[in-house]
Structures are given as C-alpha cells and as structure tokens.
Amino acid sequence: MGYALQGRIHAWLLRLRDDSGQGTVEYVALILLIAGVLAGVVAAGKGMNGASMAKSIVAKLQDSLESVGGK
C-alpha cells in the first residue's frame, strides 16, 4: 500500500512540471554565451589592425581544421 501511495504522489508531482518554454531559455542562454565570446574577441583585438586580426583568425581556423582532418 505504501508503494502505491508513493507512485500516485510521484505521478501527481510529475504532472505539475511544465517544460513549456524551456527551449526558449536555452536559446537565450546560447545567444548570451555567443555575445560574451564576441565581446571578448573585440576587447582582445582592440589594439590590433583589422587585417592582421583577420589573418590571425583565418590562420587559427586553418590550423584547427588541419588538426581535425589529420593533415
């Protein structure tokens, strides 16, 4: 009898949970994370020339892709 009561209470509590809108919260958190990374890149590259920053980013991306590709 005790387990049946626990099962009913658990089922009732699960019905109270509402996951609607959870995806929106996750997307907002992801957008804030990307904005923070971009702000860090802008702050780090404040003293750099735009062309040298672009070359540096392209070089890092190429290095990363080559390491994944096993080149």
Q: For 9-45, how does the pLDDT look when each residue is reduced to its tens digit (9 = 90+)? A: 888 888 777 767 778 888 999 999 999 998 888 888 7
Residue 36 included in any domain: yes
Q: Tally the domains of the chain.
A: 1
Q: Assess if residue 2 is contained within a domain.
A: no
Please give the pLDDT value at position 15: 79
- 28-32: which pairs have CB atoms within 8 A and are 24 or more residues apart? none
- Residue 60 belongs to some domain of the structure: yes
Query: Residue 8 falls within a domain, yes or no?
Result: no
* Domain span holding position 56: 22-71
Looking at residue 2, its amino acid is G
Kindly report the pTM of this predicted structure: 0.44
Residue 16 lies in a domain: no
